Chain A
């Protein structure tokens, strides 16, 4: 039997449907799992994405006409592309993120993109899709990575922010997904206004338009010049750390929200005073659990610590292959 999805030089490719999935060099028809920049790139003739993620996708590829004509497909709806039946299923990674289920002649393959299982009020939960072959990320595929619940992290963020109200508190986290997750989690325990770096403003508006309940926000750029940020929480992308943008804030306390913060050495090397464990990827136990629940006998690993995960899966008797992709090992915003 032929493989439903193969690795080509441009990206993951489905020969029976003649389309690509999250290609890094888009040319023809492309199915996009989610709007992060390493998965959604410009250059394709025709785009399909989940209906839930359509506005985010268009926003990210603002200047690209073909992207503005992208087709938004509701979760679970099967469409036929040449010889393949294709449907989007929620991946729980960021708003609108999807796994792609591809069925060709009774064989079901799932390309999961990025995913997580930890509950997140800013996006739909992960849906388990039974399949023959499952393509999985492996970003945090080491048993040391284990996330706490978003409520616990949000409480820790709030405690840190409120611990010194004489200084501004800047939390660095990626602008698409994490910033909105923090705002949605904090909404349950706070009613203060949070200030946003420009990079997160448009994206947060889209989340709001999609009905995600979040704390009130104000762009830093729209605040009067002499405004004192002492005691305020500010969200900014990591690229703003140590940039001149920070000069606006007097003696800020800084923290970084990322799965990598689980390890103390990583926190120190980043030069942040404080680290919060905040990830939009699956932790080790979530990866194992998910692979188990799909019932797939063939597992294809993409980016991350696939060497370790592959060995564990093989010891469980599964067939494991590897796709070298151009998706980022980092958590990208």
Chain B
């Protein structure tokens, strides 16, 4: 367990991605396969062993120690976390091992705790006995280890690391492509050294039938090196602003997986139902959207469906999910990814046309005569509720990840507004000494002809180069009006062009609007504060979007 606690502390005490990955790699290099498997499952939140609630844990502590309950409550309200409070009290009451610089005591490893010890505690009926065992465990552990044990027992272990980073560390350390690790990880539902061996194996391992294929991703059209464009070689379709997903029908069951490789079937019961007659042995790739009376709705509408484990009947009715199919990866139970897109689109048409349902469509193939027409088509994307075009070679295979130059995405230029920098906040970690988090404002015209005033509308962190960041940081320190904790309010002086992907109404923002993915496009040295855009301009953008949809 010591190694796992060390890993936790390393991950917890840095914000740097690089340091997190190297802490993970160090752990994998030193730990057995069975411990590594548990660590991966715990860090990615795929599996936990919840044998107690934090209420139970607290009760066991009170039974074992006869500690005054009010004093425990005082402590818990200061700390804000039961597992942590108890780990600190264990130390204060001398119920933990004390730290000495040269300590080496007998210890159980992570899998012994997870597979044997913790489950054994759960099957004991007698609370007094449970309490006795709990305290006997604590006495062999440091306070920091008790904290982790408490978290593991209550199934509440969390640490600031994403699944992506865990995958990256595994891939770098064991030298296997990251998409392969990602793919295999989807199928792992249990601990055990043999599963870890499968996860990091250099051989191809058969996958379980509920699993999707790794998604094929596109490069930006502007990055292509071969500038020749023969329209007949390319399949052109709208790039929709929903979520990429794979629908799988195997063993008489439908699964829906997001591109984040999450099983989202339960969140989309309407789609799962619509796909129930998909032929056995089919996998299709496409986009989930909210589709109402045949019309594609805004991304904000889809957002209402995301993150819901079980949507209510009401939301299913007001925000019905739809699906636009792009590709077919498996047909008649055979993996078709090495066949041409042309062949795969034929399979797609075959299986989807049989369904003939209002909520399921096939992406329309667009025809152009050349690059000029391609560009004018792209500029119309918003009128089709799309964020641009997808351009795929008709002869292309379905590759893993973002590999070849045969799939391109060609997005419309982002929406943008000129806004005034109004607040700044220091970054975190290595950027803690620089003001890198900015808040921007637009003018709000008073309809009664009064003075216009600045209203904040977006926060942005990225888009400036290091030189500009330094320059701006220097200016911020000298032009601060007020400090509120880590935030500084600034003299309105600088104008920046802020790009964003979408704009919608919002009651949560003072400006009444919310923008998606805001980022700094450029520092407009040429503009004065008075020249910045107004809230009314933003509302007009919003309206034009609504009319289109």
Q: Which of A30-38, A199-207, A242-250 contacts B (4 or more CB under 8 A)?
A: A242-250
Complex: A264 Cα to B78 Cα, angstroms: 11
Knowing A252-B433, A271-B486, A308-B71, the reply to whether A263 touches B78 (Cβ < 8 A) is yes
Which single member of A148, A246, A273 contacts B433 (CB below 8 Å)?
A246
Query: Chain A residues near B71 (CB, 8 Å)?
Result: 143, 308, 312
Query: Chain A residues near B75 (CB, 8 Å)?
Result: 142-144
Knowing A146-B91, A146-B92, the reply to whether A265 touches B433 (Cβ < 8 A) is no
Which single member of A142, A151, A242, A285 contacts B74 (CB below 8 Å)?
A142
Complex: A30 Cα to B421 Cα, angstroms: 52
Complex: A264 Cα to B93 Cα, angstroms: 19
Q: Is B99 an interface residue (CB 8 A)?
A: yes
Q: Are A284 and B15 in contact (CB under 8 A)?
A: no
Q: Are A251 and B430 in contact (CB under 8 A)?
A: yes
Tell me how far the C-beta of A69 lies from the nearest C-beta in chain B, rounded to whole angstroms: 39
Q: Are A273 and B486 in contact (CB under 8 A)?
A: no
Tell me how far the C-beta of A307 lies from the nearest C-beta in chain B, rounded to whole angstroms: 8
Q: Is B81 an interface residue (CB 8 A)?
A: yes
Query: Chain A residues near B91 (CB, 8 Å)?
Result: 146
Query: What does the 1/0 interface line of B79-90 toward A look like (CB < 8 Å)?
Result: 111001100110
Q: Are A265 and B79 in contact (CB under 8 A)?
A: yes
Query: What does the 1/0 interface line of A20-38 toward B look like (CB < 8 Å)?
Result: 0000000000000000000
* Nearest-CB residue, chain B, relative to A283: B92
Q: Are A143 and B89 in contact (CB under 8 A)?
A: yes
Query: What does the 1/0 interface line of B59-75 toward A look like (CB < 8 Å)?
Result: 00000000000110011
Complex: A208 Cα to B15 Cα, angstroms: 38
Q: Are A143 and B92 in contact (CB under 8 A)?
A: yes
* Nearest-CB residue, chain A, relative to B99: A152
Query: Chain A residues near B80 (CB, 8 Å)?
Result: 265
Complex: A244 Cα to B435 Cα, angstroms: 10
Query: Chain A residues near B88 (CB, 8 Å)?
Result: 143-146, 262-263
Q: Is A10 an interface residue (CB 8 A)?
A: no
Q: Are A273 and B89 in contact (CB under 8 A)?
A: no
Q: Is B13 an interface residue (CB 8 A)?
A: yes
Tell me how far the C-beta of A149 lies from the nearest C-beta in chain B, rounded to whole angstroms: 9
Complex: A249 Cα to B426 Cα, angstroms: 16
Q: Are B85 and A152 in contact (CB under 8 A)?
A: no
Complex: A287 Cα to B374 Cα, angstroms: 77
Q: Are B432 and A264 in contact (CB under 8 A)?
A: no
Q: Are B85 and A144 in contact (CB under 8 A)?
A: yes
Q: Are A144 and B101 in contact (CB under 8 A)?
A: no
Q: Is A325 an interface residue (CB 8 A)?
A: no
Q: Are B428 and A271 in contact (CB under 8 A)?
A: yes
For chain A, the count of residues having a C-beta within 8 Å of the partner chain is 32
Q: Are B79 and A263 in contact (CB under 8 A)?
A: yes
Tell me how far the C-beta of A222 lies from the nearest C-beta in chain B, rounded to whole angstroms: 21
Q: Is A187 an interface residue (CB 8 A)?
A: no
Query: What does the 1/0 interface line of B326-357 toward A look like (CB < 8 Å)?
Result: 00000000000000000000000000000000
Q: Is B477 an interface residue (CB 8 A)?
A: yes
Q: Is B14 an interface residue (CB 8 A)?
A: yes
Q: Are A273 and B15 in contact (CB under 8 A)?
A: yes
Q: Are B79 and A155 in contact (CB under 8 A)?
A: no
Q: Which of B238-267 contact A (CB under 8 A)?
A: none
Complex: A241 Cα to B168 Cα, angstroms: 33
Q: Is A322 an interface residue (CB 8 A)?
A: no
Q: Are A242 and B433 in contact (CB under 8 A)?
A: yes
Complex: A252 Cα to B426 Cα, angstroms: 15
Tell me how far the C-beta of B254 lies from the nearest C-beta in chain A, rounded to whole angstroms: 42
Q: Is A66 an interface residue (CB 8 A)?
A: no
Q: Are A273 and B14 in contact (CB under 8 A)?
A: yes
Q: Is A254 an interface residue (CB 8 A)?
A: yes
Q: Is A46 an interface residue (CB 8 A)?
A: no
Q: Are A264 and B84 in contact (CB under 8 A)?
A: yes
Which single member of B79, B81, B101, B486 contacts A151 (CB below 8 Å)?
B101
Complex: A248 Cα to B486 Cα, angstroms: 20
Complex: A298 Cα to B84 Cα, angstroms: 34
Query: Chain B residues near A145 (CB, 8 Å)?
Result: 88, 92
Q: Is A274 an interface residue (CB 8 A)?
A: yes
Tell me how far the C-beta of A273 lies from the nearest C-beta in chain B, rounded to whole angstroms: 5
* Nearest-CB residue, chain A, relative to B434: A247
* Nearest-CB residue, chain A, relative to B80: A265
Query: Chain A residues near B429 (CB, 8 Å)?
Result: 273
Query: What does the 1/0 interface line of B39-80 toward A look like (CB < 8 Å)?
Result: 000000000000000000000000000000011001100111
Knowing A152-B99, A242-B432, the reply to whether A144 touches B13 (Cβ < 8 A) is no
* Nearest-CB residue, chain A, relative to B78: A142
Query: Chain A residues near B433 (CB, 8 Å)?
Result: 242, 246-247, 249, 252
Tell me how far the C-beta of A246 lies from the nearest C-beta in chain B, rounded to whole angstroms: 4
Complex: A146 Cα to B81 Cα, angstroms: 17
Complex: A146 Cα to B91 Cα, angstroms: 7
8 A-B pairs in the complex with CB atoms less than 8 angstroms apart:
A143-B75, A144-B79, A144-B88, A242-B432, A264-B12, A265-B80, A265-B81, A271-B426
Beyond A263-B79, A265-B80, A271-B432, 14 additional contacts (C-beta under 8 Å) are A142-B74, A143-B71, A146-B88, A146-B91, A247-B433, A252-B430, A262-B88, A264-B81, A264-B84, A271-B426, A273-B14, A273-B15, A305-B74, A308-B74
